[in-house]
Amino acid sequence: MKLNALNFSGGPGALPESVLEQTRDAIIALPDTGMSVLGMSHRSDWFRAVLDEAEQNLRHLLGVSDDYAVTFLQGGSSLQFAMIPMNFAARAVAPPEYVSTGYWSAKATTEAAKVTERNIIWDGGATGYRSLPDLQALGVAPSAAYLHYVSNETVEGLQFPDCKQGAIAAPLIADMSSDFLSKPICTAAYSMIYAHAQKNLGPAGVTVALIERALLDRIPNGLPAILDFRTHVQHSSNYNTPPVFAIYVLMLVTRWLRDDIGGLHAMQTINERKAQRLYDTLDALGDAVTVHAQPRWRSRMNVAFTFGDSRLDRAFIRVAREQGLTGLEGHRSIGGLRASLYNAVGEAAVERLAAVLTEFSLQRA
């Protein structure tokens, strides 16, 4: 494999070069402390400032009001699949509603059932997870504990449009792991938003959760402290030793988005161009390729497609790797190919992928 491979992996994904350079230097000695970032105490003033800046950058980028707590957790989305019903279902009048639109939301739905009664209000499994419902048209009851959905299905490459404030009667909880910070969102439409870092935010090992403070009143007493969201809010994400390094890198990424990119509108413009370039290339190949998602629901972050034949897909992965493009294997659950276009994947990388795709297709035609 060559140096400077272009990384189209579904996650952990690419990170901005300037962030990698600062991180490299911090491994030996942080400029402001003279100590390795890996040996910094989570109780130090330095780390307090890192946590504060990460939180402030997120509030600034997403327009998060003081009605929400910003927390940094461990365990990935998979732990959230258990914690959310443990915290927010027990004291509700009616069970939570789940929308099952792909591999990850189906997993959230399965895990919730181990903790609580829950309703599946829409299920795209029978039709192969190629389309999404209109959330507003689902008629969620106001008494439901919450409505849970996944905003971007990483495996199948499906993406919901942003929700409108007040569109859903019950508290709205979204797993935004694979499109968080890729575009502006109407934060006020949600009661909770969570996202693990390893797509657009930083290295694997930290998960951001924005939680409406009013929702914390619904948490039953008696949960283990580490599984009770109030613990993390009350201790400003420093209850037990947090993943200091991962949060440091996440802070650098949010600073990059704020200062170098210029915010989420600018990021969205770039991401739209990248996705458009790739979908245009695939559409131009006609019957030679099939995009998994129906056109209306195509994700701007994860493009799942296939040459319709696993031998051809494998051949493409081989050719791409020779050209320095990696991470193009589809998820093991559906096979095929997937190009993930997270924030740190540059437009030049997408141009390169488009060229390799077109050339590969012409040679096989």
Active centre residues (catalytic): 104, 175, 199
Sole binder of a second copy in the list 18, 33, 131, 268 (CB under 8 A): 33
What's the closest the beta carbon of residue 104 comes to a second copy, in angstroms?
10
Q: Does 49 bind a second copy (CB under 8 A)?
A: no
Binding mask 195-234 for a second copy (x = CB under 8 A): -x-x---xxxxx---------------xxxxxx-------
Q: Does 81 bind a second copy (CB under 8 A)?
A: yes
HSE-up of 255 (CA within 13 Å, CB side)? 15
Nearest Cα to Cα of residue 145 among 101, 188, 93: 93
Q: How many residues bind a second copy (CB under 8 A)?
A: 67
What's the closest the beta carbon of residue 63 comes to a second copy, in angstroms?
28
For the purposes of burial, counting CB atoms within 10 Å of the CB of 153, is it exposed (0-12), middle (13-18) or buried (19 or more)?
buried
Dump strand ranges (E) for the chain. 6-7, 68-73, 97-100, 119-123, 147-150, 152-153, 158-159, 172-175, 192-196, 207-212, 290-291, 302-306, 325-326, 337-340
Query: Which of 64, 233 has the CB closer to a second copy?
Result: 233
Q: Does 40 bind a second copy (CB under 8 A)?
A: yes
Sole binder of a second copy in the list 54, 114, 131, 216 (CB under 8 A): 114
Query: Which of 43, 311 has the CB closer to a second copy?
Result: 43
One-letter amino acid of 255: R
Do 8 and 345 meet the contact criterion of CB atoms below 8 Å apart?
A: yes
Binding mask 314-333 for a second copy (x = CB under 8 A): ------------xx----x-
Q: Does 88 bind a second copy (CB under 8 A)?
A: no
Q: Does 266 bind a second copy (CB under 8 A)?
A: no
192-196/172-175 β-pairing? parallel
Query: Which of 9, 254 has the CB closer to a second copy?
Result: 9
For the purposes of burial, counting CB atoms within 10 Å of the CB of 138, is it exposed (0-12), middle (13-18) or buried (19 or more)?
middle
Sole binder of a second copy in the list 18, 76, 120, 122 (CB under 8 A): 76
Query: Which of 185, 244 has the CB closer to a second copy?
Result: 244
Nearest Cα to Cα of residue 33 among 251, 248, 240, 234: 248
Nearest Cα to Cα of residue 141 among 169, 122, 103, 182: 169
Residues forming contacts to a second copy in the complex (CB under 8 A) are: 1-5, 7, 9-15, 20-21, 23-25, 27-29, 33-36, 38-43, 74-79, 81-82, 111, 114-115, 196, 198, 202-206, 222-227, 239-246, 249, 326-327, 332
